[in-house]
Amino acid sequence: MMISAFLLLWMAGAIGCTQAGEETDRAPTVLVFKHGKLSGDGRVLSDLLRDFERRHPGVIVREELLPADSDRQHQYYAMNLDGGKAPFDLLGIDTIWAQEFAKAGWIASLDGLLPPAERNQFFPGPIEAATFNGRLYAVPWYVDTGVLYYRRDLLDRHGLEPPRTWSDLTRIARTVLDAEQDSGLAGFLWQGKQYEGLMCIALEVLRSNGTDLWSGDRDRAEYGLQFLRETISTYRITPLSTSMADEESTRWIFGEGHALFMRNWPYAWSMFQQEGSPVRGKVGVVPLPSFSGFSSAPVLGGWMLAMPNSSTHREVVGELIQFLTSADTQRMIAIELGYNPVRRALYDEESLLELRPLLKDLYPILLSAQPRPVTPYYLLLSQAVQPEISAVVVGRKSPAEALDAIRRRVDQIMGDQASPAGLGRS
């Protein structure tokens, strides 16, 4: 009798749970979220995804991490999306991939998730990069851009201000290096290795001279490439090893106190402020310089969220994208992981600025950040152009020779494609 009574009570409880909405007889909806590993504590995003699951009973979000190397991520996505049946429902993509993936038909339009009237809540650069043929194919997740780091303590010691022009930078760097000859300082670090980072600094320098690699004033383009070479060969403010330098190697040298200026991304700031850092409290951040008569032209970076066309859970994936790009979630990843939020209104929140004071300085830089060429063929362009810029950096080619090759190769790649909208940015 006691056992029968217990069974009756258990059955009643089970029925009650089912009636309350716990669909115990239905398999959960499993969403697979592919993305590269984020910096910082991985539990932050995991906890956010568990929060989303609590708000969506019956939904499970499974993270599957990809290698940090973006080239390997791109290769994985291309192989799996091209088959038309991707084994994931949500993917994190680099800003430079959205056009390619959209043209290939690999990712779904997300116009309904972010109507045009709401897009001005985001920075304009990422929205432009995510838009193909007038339709939105990705939603910005976090945003990045090139900035200039400088040693505030060294400039103060010599009574100098941060540079506004590239001429200022070379003059200030030489002044400090000449005054501190035994310090082992480098004047200006940048990413000169033959990879995507080299494209970024080249675009930033040329665009800050009112031109570009593929179009625009030819003389100013040559002058910009020559400037990069002369930081090494003439001004001697940049190490010879720059032809091997990437973000992390330059960050390490600067972070150890061995450089005055460095072009890099905002991610390095939090590392410089860590306990035990040789440059803690000694670093400032300003916009990248420009040539006289032109404006700073930082390159846009960052990542976006996209949905494969093959996903069978579009509605709930859309809700997950909205959750991850909501103000509350963006605020959390800004505080806990140090990423720069994509929603502009957050940069006015005093409580957030107290915890992330750098955001106040970053806002105008992010607002002016320009995408790399907004074209499905960008990766082909980059791979064709990188060796030519690298040849200038190491002194194997003159800027004129490299520019001839670059513009000829770009014409071949683009063929009959209309270039002004995507390539003619200046």
Where a domain ends, among 297, 316, 336? 297
Region 271-277: mean pLDDT is 94
Is there a single domain that holds both residue 348 and residue 272? no
Quote the tokens at residue 99. Answer: 């056009």
pLDDT digits (tens, 9 = 90+) for 389-414: 999 999 999 999 999 999 999 999 98
Where a domain ends, among 252, 281, 297? 297
318 lies in some domain: yes
Parent domain of 170: 147-297
Q: In what order do the strands lie in the sheet with 300-306?
A: 59-66, 29-36, 90-94, 300-306, 139-145
362 lies in some domain: yes
Is there a single domain that holds both residue 288 and residue 271? yes
CA atoms of 262 and 150, how far apart (whole Å) = 7
pLDDT digits (tens, 9 = 90+) for 179-206: 998 788 999 999 999 999 999 999 999 9
Where a domain ends, among 297, 327, 355? 297
* Confidence at 371, pLDDT banded by 50, 70, 90: very high
Locate the DSSP E strands across 8-111: 29-36, 59-66, 90-94
140 lies in some domain: yes
Burial class for 159, CB neighbours closer than 10 Å (0-12, 13-18, 19+): exposed
Asked whether the predicted pLDDT for residue 2 surpasses 80, the reply is no
Is there a single domain that holds both residue 121 and residue 219? no
pLDDT of residue 312: 93
More confident residue, 69 or 326: 326
Is there a single domain that holds both residue 333 and residue 283? no
359 lies in some domain: yes
